[in-house]
Amino acid sequence: MKYTSDIAFTPAVKKLQEKFGSRKGYGRMETSGGWQQEINPNLAHILQHMDSFYFATSNSINQPYIQHRGGPKGFLKVLDNKRLAFADFSGNKQYISVGNLSENNKAYIFLMDYANQTRIKIWGTAEIVENDIELINSLSDENYNAKSERAIIFSVVAWDVNCRQHIQRRFTIEQIEEVTKPLYNKIKALKEEINSLKTNTP
């Protein structure tokens, strides 16, 4: 019987799971529903707040490559329940990911939310789209300073939320400011109150 997780749990992987004692647990996971195959509202909600992910491709001789992708929040967009898409911004002109996809369409997206200690793994295939101006524009943000050279459509085969173990919490400047700004405002107000009391004290 085929399971969604077979995309990662190859016979070699399952053999090691047997050896080290985790196969029974993963077997129960497979028969009880296994990994997701479609983009559900929970994943869509997470993507709306992500401004970064890692994109993995491989060339025709199976040499893997991982590239960081960043942009405004929600730049990895949901097209439908099976497809994601993002604008390919101009960068260092190496074109390794695009070159790999031109000869091997298998791809992988790794999302890491350090603040919430959540990581999401998405397996699938990716397609380069260069002539659909309407699509490319729909994936771009006029307030974000970057040129969109093309679109990349990612078709989801399987995805899974990984365990939180060993994820060290990290926060963006924006997240830190959200917490500290009210404190700074309170301190400023207290200083003004103290200065006012000093000024009005006989």
Query: Which residues contact residue 129 at a Cβ distance below 8 angstroms, ignoring those fewer than 6 apart?
Result: 135, 136, 150, 151, 152, 153
Q: Tell me the one-letter amino acid at 78.
A: V
pLDDT, position 202? 64
Render pLDDT for 174-189 as a digit per residue (tens, 0 to 9).
888 888 999 889 998 8
Q: What homologous superfamily does CATH list for 36-170?
A: Electron Transport, Fmn-binding Protein; Chain A (2.30.110.10)
> Do the beta carbons of residue 108 and residue 53 sit within 8 Å?
no
Render pLDDT for 8-30 as a digit per residue (tens, 0 to 9).
999 999 999 999 999 999 999 99
Strands 83-89, 106-113: pairing kind: unpaired
Q: Name 64's bridge partners.
A: 58
Q: Give the pair of three-digit tokens for residue 18.
A: 């047997």
pLDDT, position 201? 67
Nearest C-alpha neighbor of 29 from the set 9, 54, 58, 59: 9
Q: Name 99's bridge partners.
A: none
What distance lies between CA 160 and its chain's CA centroid? 12
pLDDT, position 91? 78
Query: Which residues contact residue 15 at a Cβ distance below 8 angstroms, ignoring those fewer than 6 apart?
Result: none
Residues of the chain where predicted confidence (pLDDT) is lower than 50: none
pLDDT, position 163? 80
C-alpha to C-alpha distances, 54 to 7, 75, 143, nearest whole angstrom: 19, 13, 23
pLDDT, position 171? 87
pLDDT, position 90? 84
Query: Which residues contact residue 82 at a Cβ distance below 8 angstroms, ignoring those fewer than 6 apart?
Result: 38, 39, 155, 156
pLDDT, position 199? 80
Please give the model's pTM, rounded to 2 decimal places.
0.86
**How far, in Å, CA of 35 to CA of 4, rounded?**
6
Angle at 25 between CA 21 and CA 28, to 5 degrees: 145
